[in-house]
Structure 1
Amino acid sequence: MQAATGGNLAKQKLAANDLVLCFGVNQLRTPNIAMMAAACGFDALYIDLEHNPTSLETASGICVAAMGLGITPIARVSSHDPHDSTRILDCGAQGVMVPHVNTAAEARAIVEACRFAPSGHRSAAGTVPSLGYAQLSQPDICRRLNQETLLIAMIETPEAVANAEAIAAVEGIDTLHIGSTDLSTEMGIPGDYRHERMRDAYEAIARAARTHGKSMGVGGVRQDVEFQSWLLGLGVRYLTSGSDTLYILSGGRADVAQIRAVAAAAGAGTA
């Protein structure tokens, strides 16, 4: 692990073609979740601001805690509104996942909003938590944040898959990330990640990412070792295997089932 001022661990690992395992934060609200993710061995966590009621202030606290533990805090924002991305970047996130990026024009707009000139037009806030409030000149702040901010375009529709080459070609986008649940739902095969059409989509994104020197991410796929192995062989290096909600539910259900089975065997009843 490394301190916040040591840079963006996830972005460094992706640049080296190393695997980044990301923990999804959906319902937990305290900075302790960052400590738990680090204790499990995750490289990054992403705070879901699209589907959950987490506030900006709460998300910022989790981001700052994550950086102190040496794991990369990333936020999945709720829209393409530039302020959604830039505010959480100013408040501690080292990367953003922008949902439903369907065209190269939309990808370029993300870069325009989230990178400083000359790469984009992000408003300069001065030193920020992601730099550990280091005493730096404004040129150094802009340079380091441009270098260390991870920009992830989420591919979640057939239109986006068709435009994958053009999206991947946009300078400043680091990662193409397939939102498996959304994409399969849009295709009319919700949750069927092994479907031939989904496999074709994964392969198309992998080709586009390789061609343009971008990393590839996938979310929504867990507890399927064979399929995860196929994805890693395809070139996936950013993998969200689960979230706080899923881990709590799966662990709780397993414990309840086991204890009820023991109780039934002992004649204690299961009501």
Structure 2
Amino acid sequence: MADTDDSKITGLLGRDFKRSLAAGNLNLCMTVRYSRTIEIAQVTRLAGYDALYCDLEHSALTIDQVSQISMAAAMSGIVPLVRVPCHGHHYISRVLDGGAHGVVVPHVDTVDEAKACVDACRYPPMGGRSLTGLGPLAGQSVGTTDAYRLINENTVLIVMLESPEAIKNADAIAAVEGVDMLLIGTNDLCMEMGIPGQLDSDQVRDAYQTTADACKKHGKALGIGGIKEGPMLDAIYAMGGRFIMGRVDGVLMSMAATTEVKTLRKLGS
């Protein structure tokens, strides 16, 4: 029996994020690769995103930098996620200890790999994560037992399916307790399928449908990566995709800068 009134605990953004997804709400996430300081958290909030994720797989960001950004995002009311570069405790536990409220794990192809991810990000008895400070619960009146239970329940684990093998195993991966979302990395999936860049192909649609069916069956969320617009995005939304991995911060800056330059160049023409 819990001694803590969970409804009075604040700072568990993962809880609100999971509830929002379960309610069928659309959740948008900015990808951070180029920003190095905490101001990006405010930009993300003011733009209207629900989450940001710092990408340690495809950037030169350090754990120190993503920890600072994660803590700033949490204080801004934005769910801080971090994509780790590989599987394993040595990255997953460190980014969670540093302030992330969830992790995105790339290239999860099998049930065993999904279970290893759960083990890395959940405290006993759900997993094998090493005990540390109370993270998002710091400074609140909550007992140790309840604290680790709450963190276990509200830490977000997103596994990425990026190969035909992963899609084949989607149902079994979705059945793994402790996995919250299956997120398809569409660009890598297309490469693995031998159809690079063909994001609107029937193979991609079929892969999403297979994964969507698995998510519905096991009560997991479906995430969309690499598709930002067009009929395919509409189709995946209709399948139940409610988490969209948005554009990279540097790309968004470039798009805005290009638009401004085109506008200003019209002066005197």
Tell me the TM-score normalized by structure 2. 0.92
Instruction: Pick from 15, 27, 33 the counterpart of residue 22 of structure 2.
Output: 15
Structure 2: tracts of 5 or more residues without a match:
1-8
Q: Which residue of 1 aligns with 2:207?
A: 201
CA displacement at 1:138 relative to structure 2: 1.7
Say yes or no: does 1:246 pair with 2:258: no
Residue 91 of structure 2 is aligned to residue 84 of structure 1: yes
Aligned to 1:63: 70
Deviations 1:113-147 (A, max 9, x none): 1111111111110312x224434322112101111
Residue number among 11, 30, 38 corresponding to 1:5 in the alignment:
11
Cα distance between partner residues in 1 of 2:201 and 2:137? 43
| Map of 2:154 onto structure 1 | 148
What is the percentage of aligned positions where both structures have the same residue? 41
State the distance in 2 between where 1:33 and 1:4 align.
23
- The one of 26, 32, 56 equivalent to 2:33 is 26
Map of 1:190-269 to 2, 5 A cutoff?
Answer: 190-222=196-228, 224-260=229-265, 262=266, 266=269
Deviation at 1:169, TM superposition (A): 0.7
CA distance in 1, matches of 2:139, 2:194: 47
Tell me: CA distance 1:33–1:192, structure 2 relative to 1, closer, same or farther (3 Å). same
- The DSSP-based 3-state class of the residue aligned with 2:11 is helix
Return the alpha-carbon distance in structure 1 between the equivalents of residues 138 and 43 of structure 2: 21
Structure 1 stretches of at least 4 aligned residues deviating more than 6 Å after TM superposition: none
State the alpha-carbon separation in 1 of the partners of residues 231 and 264 from structure 2. 30
**Aligned partners of 1:48, 1:7: CA distance in 2, in Å?**
19
State the shift of 1:82 in Å. 1.3
CA displacement at 1:255 relative to structure 2 = 2.6
Q: 1:188 to 1:83 in 2, by over 3 A?
A: same
CA–CA distance in structure 1, aligned partners of residues 10 and 93 of structure 2: 18
1:165 correspondence with 2:171: yes
1:113 is aligned, of 100, 117, 120, to 120
Gaps of 5+ in 1: 267-271
Contact 1:176 1:215 survives alignment (8 Å): yes
Distance 2:177 2:61 in 1: 31
Number of residue equivalences: 260
Give me the CA root mean square deviation: 1.6
Task: Give the letter aligned to residue 92 of structure 2.
Answer: S
Letter in 2 for 1:236: G
In the alignment, the residues of structure 2 paired with residue 245 and residue 230 of structure 1 have an alpha-carbon distance, to the nearest angstrom, of 27
CA displacement at 1:156 relative to structure 2? 0.5
* SS in structure 2 of the partner of residue 5 of structure 1: coil
Instruction: For 1:158 and 1:108, locate their aligned partners in 2 and report how far apart those are by CA, in whole Å.
Output: 19
SS across alignment from 1:74 = strand
Structure 2: how far apart are the matches of 1:126 and 1:208?
35
The superposition leaves residues 15-55 of structure 1 with CA deviations (integer Å, 9 ceiling, x where unpaired) of 32221111111101111101000001111000001110111
- The answer as to 2:50 corresponding to 1:43 is yes
Q: Secondary structure at the match of 1:96?
A: strand
Deviates more, 1:16-25 or 1:31-40: 16-25
What letter matches 1:180 in structure 2? T
Letter in 2 for 1:186: E
- Alpha-carbon shift at residue 257 of structure 1 (Å): 3.3
CA distance in 2, matches of 1:24, 1:132: 27
The one-letter code of the counterpart of 1:41 is: G
CA separation of 1:191 and 1:134: change in aligned 2, threshold 3 A: farther
Amino acid at match of 2:56: L
CA contact (8 A) 1:24 1:47 kept: yes
Give yes or no for contact 1:126–1:141 (8 Å, CA) kept in 2: no
Amino acid at match of 1:48: D
Q: Distance in 1 between matches of 2:237 and 2:20?
A: 15
